[in-house]
Structure 1
Amino acid sequence: MKWYNIDEGHHPRTDEPVFLAKAPTDDLMNECRLGRLVFEDNTGEKGWFVDNNIHVISLNSRKYWSRLIEKPIGIPDSENEQNLKDFLEDSMGILRLFEIKMQKLAACMISSGNGTYYLDYYVSGILNRSLSLIYGFDTLIGTSNFLSAAHLIRPHLDNYLRLSAAWLVNDPHIFAGNVWKGGVIRKMKDRNGKAMSDRHLKEKASEDYPWITDVYEATSGFIHFSEKHIRNATKLSSAEENSLTTFIGKVDNQVSYQSKLEATIGMIEISNCIAKQVYGYIETKRIKG
Structure 2
Amino acid sequence: MNVKRMAAVMITAVFAAGAYAQVYTLPSVSGEGTDSVAIGSKAKYQVTRDPAVNTPLFNASGFWWTNNGGFTFEQTNGSPLTATGGSGAQTPDGAYDQNEVVMNVTGPVGSYQVTAAEQSRPITGSGCVDPTPEVLPVVVVNLPTMAFGADSGGCGAPASNLLVPATVTGYGKYDIRLHVAAYDLSANPIGTAQDVDITNHMNAYTTHANTPTRLTVTVAQLQAAAGGSFPPAGCYFDISATNMQDRISKKHHNYAFNVTEVTNNNPASGDTYRFYIYPVPTTQPIQHIQNNW
Scaled by the length of structure 2, the TM-score of the pair is: 0.22
> Rg bigger for which structure?
2
Of structures 1 and 2, the one scoring higher in RCO (CA 8 A, sep 6+) is 1
Q: Comparing both structures, which one devotes a greater share of its residues to helix?
A: 1
